[in-house]
Structure 1
C-alpha cells in the first residue's frame, strides 16, 4: 500500500465516524483530506441537501462538496451574501451566519491586490455586476481590468448568474444604463461602484461602495489592468441634487445616504470640471439584462461554462485548480452549488473544461464558474443547527475573506 493510498484510506475512516455522529467534512479545518467512496446525500433544511464525493480527474483524484437546492420549494430562496459594502470582504461563514443563511458558497472574482500600482489600495470589490435583495449594488469593470483566469471566447465581465423574482435561475449579461443630467445637457455614466472605470469616463459612487479610496478607479486601461494611473482626474460630490464640493483627486471615506460622488478620468474629468458649486444635477442608474425581462432578486459575476447542456467553446482544459461553480436545471428551479476541496491530497483540482463536464454529470443544463483557489469555500449548517460550518478545506488553510457569495435560505 502506497503512502498516498494509506492517507486516503485514513481519511475515509475518519469521515465514516464523523458522519455517524451527524458531523460533515471540513470540521476544524485541520487539512486532513476528507474522502467518501460512497456518495451520500444529507438533508440540511427544507429544499436543501449536501453531498460529497471523489472525482477521478486528469491531474489526479479530487473531492467535491455539493449543495442541492430545490427552488420549487416555496420555503427556499437564494440571495447575495456580502458584507454591507461593495468594497469590503469577509469570510463566507461570517457572511452566511450574519444573514441567517443555512448554506452558501463564495462568489465573484475580485480586486485582491495592487502590486502594479504602488501606494494604491486594493479595494476588495468584485469584478462583475451585483444585485442583492433586488437592489443594484454595482456594475462591471472593463474586461481588461478583471482579476481571474482568462474568459472563454465571446464572454466578458458583464456575465452574471442570477435568480429572478419569478424564482428561476438564469445566465445573463447586465449592462449599466446611467446618465448624469446637468444644466448643459446629459453625460453618459459608465461606472457604478466599481474598482475600475473605462478610460475617458465618469462613474458614480454611492453609500453602497463603502469607505475605501476611489483612487483605484482611475488606474489601468480598458485593455491593461497594470497600466499607470491616470494623471487627469476629477471628482464632484452631489447631495440633494446639487454639487456641494469638488476635488482634483479621488477621495476616500464613507459616502452618506442621499449623496453620490462622481469620479471622472481624462475626458470624463474634463466634463466634470464644467460643473459649478450649487449646480443642479440628477443621476440615474440601472442594469439592463440581455436575456430576460424578469427583474433579478439577486445576481453576481463570474463566467458561463455550460449553456443548454453544452460546454462553451474554447474552455481551458490544461490548468487545473480548486474551483467553485453553480449550475441549474428544470427551467432554473433546481440548483447545484459546487466547491472542490483544497486539502493537499486533492489540491490538483479540475480544469474549467472538467468543471463543465462535472456540472453536466450532476444534472445541470447551464453552469457558471465563480472564484476559485484560496477563495473556494462551501458552508452549511448541520440539520437543525443555528450556525454554518465550513465543509471543504480552503486551500490556504483558512477561509479567505471575499466580497460576496451565494446564500441559501430556508424558512422553517
Structure 2
C-alpha cells in the first residue's frame, strides 16, 4: 500500500479526506519533498494544473509528478503525440514542442528490440491501437507479440484509453474490422500498420506506417514473440484500386500517398499470390469500439489497472518500477496524468497495485497503465518559460524516444 504527503494547496483537503477514510490505510507518511518541489497545484493554463509529491511505497520512497486536466474547460483538449509515423520514435518534449502541446506524457509500450530475430530491425511501433485527430493510425498486435510486463487477467492488446468526439475520456477496446476485396473474393484484414501480424493473415500498411521495414510483421507467432520469421510471405502494392507491384518478401521505404501495401504470411501469402499486376483490389478498414457509441478523437494502447473504482484482480504487487499512468474522473471530464521520477533516490518506483491505489486516491474511477521504466516522461511548458522540457528525471538519464504519448493542448 502507498501513502503520499502532499504539499498544502488546492485539492489537498479532498485527498486528505480520502486518506483518512482508509483509501491507503496503514501506510507511513513521507518526509519533506526534495528542493524545488511544487507547493500544491501549479496552474499551467486554464484547466491544466501540475503537482508533485512523495509516496511511501513498499520498495522505498517514490516521487510522483501529476497533471490534472479538466476537459470541461473548452480551451483544453487532449490529442495523440506522435512523430508523424507509426514506425518512428521521438522524445515526449520534442513531440509536444513540435505539435504545440502545453504538456504531455509518454504512451504505449512498443517494439523496442529484436534480439530474437537476427538481421531484423525493431520498428519502434506501438503495441496497441492508435487514433490521431479522429483517424485510425494502427490496430493492435496479437497478445503474444506484445512488449511490456505481464498483463492483468482479462486484459489484452486491444485495450485503449481515449477521448471521444463528445470530449469525454474513457477506457475501451478497439478491434480491427477490415477486408480486402479481390476478383477471387473477399479476404479478412488481419492487421493495420502493425509490427506483428497474426499467423496466416493479410495486413495493410499505409503511408501512416512510415519507412521502416515491414519484415518484422511476419516474425513470431500469435503466442510466441521470439518464434522465427515466416518463410512463406508475399507483398502486394495497391494504388488507385489496382495492383501495381508484387514481391515475395516484405519491403521497406516510404509508402506513397494513395497507396496501400498488403503483406501476407502463410495462408495470407498464398491468397495474395493469386493477384497480379493490374488486378482490381479494394482495401477497407476501421477500428470498432467495444463500448463507446461515439467516435474517438484520440486513443492509444496500454492496459487498465482500475475500473469502476476497483483495482483489477491479479495486479502485480511485488515488482516495483518507474511508472506512467492516466486516470479518468468526474464522468470522463477530468484526467490525472501520472509519471514517477526516475532519479536514483526514487528509482525503485511502485508496483502496479500501488499505482492503482495512487490513482484512486487522486480521485480516478478508472485508470490505465502506460509504458514505464526508461520511457516514463512528463514534459510541460512551465509558466514563464518558452520551451517544453521534462519535469521528471528519466531513469535512463535522458528522455527515451517513444512512439507516442498523451498531449495536453491549451488555446489560452
Q: Same fold (TM over 0.5)?
A: yes
2:274 is matched with 274
Q: Offset of 1:276 from its aligned partner? A: 1.5
- What are the ranges of 5 or more consecutive residues in structure 1 without an aligned counterpart? 1-11, 13-32
User: Post-superposition, which runs of at least 4 consecutive aligned residues in structure 1 deviate over 2 A?
Assistant: 33-39
Is 2:34 the partner of 1:63?
no
CA contact (8 A) 1:127 1:140 kept: yes
Measure the CA separation in 2 of the matches of 1:77 and 1:126. 22
CA contact (8 A) 1:70 1:333 kept: yes
1:47 is matched with 47
Is 2:301 the partner of 1:301?
yes
Is 2:269 the partner of 1:265?
no
CA RMSD of aligned residues (A): 1.2
For the residue of structure 2 that corresponds to 1:357, the secondary structure is: helix
Is 2:183 the partner of 1:183?
yes
Measure the CA separation in 2 of the matches of 1:122 and 1:324. 23
Measure the CA separation in 2 of the matches of 1:35 and 1:65. 14
Is 2:409 the partner of 1:401?
no
Structure 1 residues 231 and 89, CA gap change in structure 2 (3 angstroms):
same
CA contact (8 A) 1:37 1:54 kept: no
1:156 is matched with 156
CA contact (8 A) 2:110 2:124 kept: yes
CA displacement 1:121-175 (0-9 Å, x = unmatched): 1000000000001010000000000000000001100000000010000100000
1:85 is matched with 85
Q: Offset of 1:184 from its aligned partner? A: 1.0
TM-score (norm 1): 0.91
Measure the CA separation in 1 of the matches of 2:177 and 2:322. 35
CA contact (8 A) 1:36 1:52 kept: no
Is 2:314 the partner of 1:311?
no
Is 2:351 the partner of 1:354?
no
1:367 is matched with 367
Q: For this pair of structures, how many residues does the alignment match?
A: 381
For the residue of structure 1 that corresponds to 2:396, the secondary structure is: coil
Measure the CA separation in 1 of the matches of 2:269 and 2:232. 7
CA contact (8 A) 1:35 1:54 kept: no
For the residue of structure 1 that corresponds to 2:327, the secondary structure is: strand
Measure the CA separation in 2 of the matches of 1:352 and 1:64. 14
Q: Offset of 1:37 from its aligned partner? A: 7.6
TM-score (norm 2): 0.91
Measure the CA separation in 1 of the matches of 2:366 and 2:383. 29
1:166 is matched with 166
CA contact (8 A) 1:78 1:407 kept: yes
For the residue of structure 2 that corresponds to 1:40, the secondary structure is: coil
2:75 is matched with 75
Measure the CA separation in 1 of the matches of 2:125 and 2:339. 22
CA contact (8 A) 1:35 1:63 kept: no
Q: Offset of 1:385 from its aligned partner? A: 3.4
